Amino acid sequence: MSLAAEAARRRTFAIISHPDAGKTTLTEKLLLYAGAIHLAGSVKSRKASRHAVSDWMQMEQERGISITSSVLQFTYHGSALNLLDTPGHADFSEDTYRTLAAVDSAVMLIDHAKGVEDRTRRLFEVCRMRQLPVVTFMNKLDRDGRDPLELIDEVSSTLNLKVAPVNWPIGMGRDFKGVVDIKTRQVTLFTAKAHGTEILDTETMPLEHAKERLGDLAYAKVLEDLELLATAGDGYSDQGFLSGNVSPVFWGSAMTNFGVETLLNFMAERAAKPAARIANGDQIVEPEDERFSGFIFKIQANMNPRHRDRIAFLRVVSGKFTRGMDVTIGRNAETLRLSKPHSFLAQERSIVDEAYPGDIVGLYDPGSLRVGDTLAEAGVMKFDGIPRFAPEFFVQIVLKDPLKRKQLDTGLEQLAHEGVVQMFYRPGLSHQDPFLGAVGQMQFEVLKERLKNEYRTEVKFINAPFRIARWIGGDPEGLAFMKARRDYTVLEDRNGAPVVLVETPYVLRYAQEKVPGLTLFDVEPL
Ligand code: G4P
């Protein structure tokens, strides 16, 4: 198969949802329907692992098949799907943002009894920033939930997103009978089987033929709903979906498998193909470009506790990736041989010989890679687009044993490269006692655990009062203005760029009023 054909059959996506909406269940069912696992329900000790503070700790707890692995690759109807996990714990972390930088579309999973929840909203905002195509799946139809029309209205208004139902539920909870396809008016009837452990047999027929099976009441309601939708909905179009403007909506129940196949078919057929990306500010890199390029969006240590290893996750952007190839790291122009690449399915890792645009490859990292690095066959190149987000929590570190200073410095530096936390330094103080910033509190817990386990260093944190960080740009007067005042703590990031930490938005507004040319960024400027 040609490079272009290989790229065109890739679908790289993530599922975004609020905890408990059913992401784990849906992931497992997608694998079941794709034939990658044969019996659902093999996920172990999920309940216990809910208390784990991060995915990598969770991974240590979970053995056997674990669908919390970061990447799952499987094929379905000729498409090669890459499903990336967004971290499962309730706290928000930068990992999530970065994962969304590596996908081409997302499935937004919503519990139809709860509607749009806090975390769904935040994750969706990241998708919007990237103009990612988003598919909506309304889950748990086997239980009672909200009125479907009200629910799509809520999604549309709270997320400011056009929605286009592709199918529509007939009843819910105990009366859940199935769904009707809005365009073809074909009804798919629901039969619960073996508690969702196996693939369902489904029955599909034209709406008119289903009258008897549905009963007069349900039948009349469907007709009424369809009529309403015909006048209200935005209508599905590939173009609207792929540009990120319209979200197709599906209904189902991950637990009982209902609707999973429809969703999977849609993802395999219509989800976005690998997109072109911008490098070096203005260079468009197409997937079909012959020369290999890609970027690192995640680094994970200790995936296998028996061999202490660091795996760097590479998203292939262009060209064909081949095992053993030499590439250049864009950040420092060093050459790296990619000798032991891995692909992923659940817990099993297998060595890959080649990979194509859209694929995710795991690279053993001896410590030379950082999150955001570009690797390219053609020499020095840098992709835009793994932004660092402004942290919202800040601490400083207290070392329990002062003799461990050196270990602490090494540990902090390495873990910051992995993106565990962000570090901010006082100018001129040779990087002593940095402020640590995180998007989610849990990042600090992970840092503490890892410093203890991997660097034998125990630390405590002192909370810093700041709530907001902004990178400073625009009129240099702005920087001078803030440096001269006590309300502003001006520090430097890892690249020496100025960053201001403050406690309230008010002081930022004040600075902007005083120096209108001042620009503040909530994402690290490139
Ligand atoms: P998450 O990864 O998004 O956090 O959600 P997860 O799949 O773990 O699902 C959260 C709970 O919701 C689980 O119940 C799961 O069984 C249930 N669930 C998921 N999909 C459906 C669905 O379509 N219908 C219904 N009725 N329930 C669903 P739990 O009791 O917390 O855990 P467990 O005992 O099932 O493991």
pLDDT tens-digit readout, 9-44: 999 999 999 888 999 889 889 988 988 766 555 443
Helix (H) or strand (E) holding 111: strand 105-111
* pLDDT of residue 46 exceeding 70: no
The pLDDT value given to residue 56 = 40
> Which residue's alpha carbon is at the smallest distance from atom 31 of ligand 1?
20
CB 272 within 8 A of CB 7: no
86 lines ligand 1 (CB under 6 A): no
Q: Is the pLDDT of residue 169 over 90?
A: yes
Mutate to test the pocket of ligand 1, among 17, 255, 257 (most ligand atoms within 8 A of CB): 255
- Taking residue 209's Cβ as centre, other Cβ atoms within 10 Å add up to 11
Mean pLDDT for the stretch of residues 62-79:
66
Binned at pLDDT 50, 70 and 90, residue 69 comes out as: low
Task: Please indicate whether residue 143, judged by its CB atom, sits closer than 6 Å to ligand 1.
Answer: yes
Q: Which atom of ligand 1 is nearest to the CA of 25?
A: 7
Q: What atom in ligand 1 is closest to the CA of residue 253?
A: 23
Lowest pLDDT segment from 190-199, 265-274, 322-331: 190-199
Cα-to-centroid distance, 313 and ligand 1 (Å): 28
**Which atom of ligand 1 is the closest one to the Cα of 43?**
36
385 or 491, which is more confident:
491
Task: Write the CA distances from 147 to 171, 182, 219, 347, integer angstroms.
Answer: 10, 17, 17, 39
- Give residue 234's pLDDT: 67
Query: Do 282 and 199 contact (CB within 8 A), yes or no?
Result: no
| Atom 32 (ligand 1) nearest CA | 47
- Residue 40 CA to ligand 1 center (angstroms) comes to 13
| Residue 54 clears pLDDT 70, i.e. is over it | no
Written as six digits, the tokens of 26 are: 């849906």
108 Cβ closer than 6 Å to some ligand 1 atom: no
Pocket lining: 254 vs ligand 1, CB cutoff 6 Å = yes
Across 121-125, 336-340, 348-352, 370-374, least confident range: 348-352
Ligand 1: residue whose CA is nearest its atom 9: 22
pLDDT at 302 over 70: no
> Which domains does the chain show, CATH number per domain?
8-71+87-270 (3.40.50.300), 277-376 (3.40.50.300), 393-521 (3.30.70.3280)
Mean pLDDT of the chain: 86
Q: Give the other-Cβ count within 10 Å of 168's Cβ.
A: 23
Query: Which segment, 68-77, 240-249, 394-403, is predicted with the most confidence on average?
Result: 240-249
Question: For atom 26 of ligand 1, which residue has the closest CA?
Answer: 140
pLDDT band at 89 (very low <50, low <70, confident <90, very high): low
- pLDDT given for residue 350 in this prediction: 65
Residue 68 Cα to ligand 1 midpoint, Å, equals 15
Alpha helix positions (H), 62-117: 94-101
Task: Note the pLDDT of residue 50.
Answer: 40
Q: How confident is the model at residue 231 (pLDDT cuts 50, 70, 90)?
A: confident
Rounded distance between C-alpha atoms, residue 124 and residue 132, angstroms: 9
For ligand 1, the distance from its centroid to the CA atom of residue 110, given in whole angstroms, is 12
Instruction: State residue 290's pLDDT score.
Output: 95
- Give the pLDDT of residue 48: 38
Written as six digits, the tokens of 282 are 């203005």
Q: State which ligand 1 atom lies nearest to the alpha carbon of 256.
A: 23
| Pairwise pLDDT comparison (92 vs 264), residue with the higher score | 264
Quote the CA–CA distance of 223 and 138 in Å, as a whole number.
21
Q: Which atom of ligand 1 is nearest to the CA of 17?
A: 3
Report how far ligand 1's centroid is from the alpha carbon of 379 (Å): 47
Give yes or no for residue 506 having a pLDDT over 80.
yes
Q: What value does the mean pLDDT take over residues 415-441?
A: 86
Per-residue pLDDT at 364 exceeds 90: no
Cα(280)–Cα(291) distance, integer angstroms: 16
H, E, C per residue of 38-73: CCCCCCCCHHHHCCCCCHHHHHHHCCCCCCCCCEEE
Closest Cα partner for 142 from 122, 166, 120, 171? 171
Tell me how far the alpha carbon of residue 147 lies from the centroid of ligand 1, in angstroms.
21
Report the distance separating Cα 157 and Cα 136, nearest Å.
Answer: 14
Q: Is the CB of 140 under 6 A from ligand 1?
A: yes
Report strand pairing: 246-251 vs 134-139. Answer: parallel
State in Å: Cα 22 to ligand 1 middle.
Answer: 5
